[in-house]
A = this chain, B = another copy of it.
Amino acid sequence: MGYVFAVVGALGNVGRTMQGILAQSDIEIDGLVLMDVPDNAGTKVGWRGRECAVVAAEPAAFEAVDIALMSAGAEASKALSPEAARRGCVVIDNSTAFRMDPNTPLVVPEVNPEDLESHRGIIANPNCSTIQMVLVLKPIHDRWKIKRVVASTYQAVSGSGKAAVDDLFAQVEAFVAGAEMVANVYPHRIAFNALPHIDVFLDDGYTKEERKMIDETKKILDPSISVTATTVRVPVVNGHSESLNIETENPFDLEEVRSALAEFPGIEIQDDPGSNLYPLAINADGKDATYVGRLRRDHTIENGMNMWCVSDNLRKGAALNTVQIAQALIERDLVRVP
């Protein structure tokens, strides 16, 4: 017996990627319900050779659904997810709505699948920049115990949705045409620029994106890990890059770190500087792995290392991780609302 899935926010960047990943997945899928805002209801979308009509996202639409992959923003999720769960549908939510809720597991399946056991109908998908980072931190933390991480990100425009990608393209087209580059989505132009501003600013000067990397890492991995972050948007279409400086409690051999990373599921090492091989956003785009390279010892502290980590923020950073959570729920027989 298979499952009925829903994708909520079906016409967004992440929603479309979810459909693509579900189409390729070997999960037994008996039906797919595509939901979006009422204005988009009726839009036809192809899936596994069939044509699906988008329906309005509303509580009743979840009646026959077993697993809903939700990527419709925090407001919609707050309104819909509890209603869906009440109807017996397990929600895997990609918004910020439930991530820090103590009753909601926040899961990267390779890192903390055991947290799924306690779900009450809603599972939160972490922030994109957090997912690829904790995936890389996990095998290091398990063996050498991580004390502190200093992260600087180079985040792609696709993370802000289709309108932002269109805006980047429009700016680049204007440049080539000799016209003025106008910013419609971000407060400043993103073409040929680097914006140290992702999500809103908080009182202490950090952005919410930076705060997510700090808080979500503690929740997923270990509250004792200290993270500080500077998150930056760069004119890359898809694929987040991260410069990570990691300090461990225990001394490590760099080649053992490399092996531990290489053996961990979801990670691929691309680290051969001599042949100009290192992770690149344009190569990670469309791939499932999180790529690690530029691994080297940080000589300024006793147990420190630097690395460069790149992943497709729409796939592992969002859509793929939600499908992997669904898979883990199925394997653990947890597709039910307690």
Contacts and interface: CB of A to CB of B under 8 A. Distances in A.
B234 A154 contact: yes
Given A296-B205, A297-B204, A192 B228 contact: no
A204 to B, nearest CB: 6
Given A195-B280, A232-B241, 14 more contacts: A152-B230, A152-B243, A154-B234, A172-B175, A193-B236, A193-B282, A194-B234, A194-B281, A196-B294, A196-B308, A205-B294, A206-B296, A226-B299, A228-B306
Interface stretch (A91-99, A271-279, A316-324): A271-279
A103 to B, nearest CB: 26
Contact of A228 (B226, B230, B294, B300): B300
B230 A243 contact: yes
A230 B280 contact: no
A313 interface: no
A39 B115 CA distance: 68
Contacts of A293: 196
A1 interface: no
Which of A192, A195, A204 has the largest count of B CB atoms less than 10 A from its CB? A192
Given A176-B176, A234-B154, A201 B280 contact: no
Q: Is the interface of A mostly helix, strand, loop or mixed?
A: mixed
Interface string A196-218: 11000100111000000000000
A304 B149 CA distance: 13
A276 B176 contact: no
Given A176-B172, A230-B308, A304-B228, A295 B193 contact: no
The count of identical subunits is 2
A297 to B, nearest CB: 7
A259 to B, nearest CB: 16
Nearest to A271: B205
A189 interface: yes
Contacts of A105: none
A332 interface: no
A245 interface: yes
Contacts of A143: none
A148 B304 CA distance: 12
Contacts of A205: 273, 294-297
A266 to B, nearest CB: 20
Interface in A145-203: 148, 150, 152, 154, 172-173, 175-176, 187-189, 192-197, 201
A37 interface: no
A235 interface: yes
A244 to B, nearest CB: 9
Contacts of A236: 192-194, 235
A176 B235 CA distance: 15
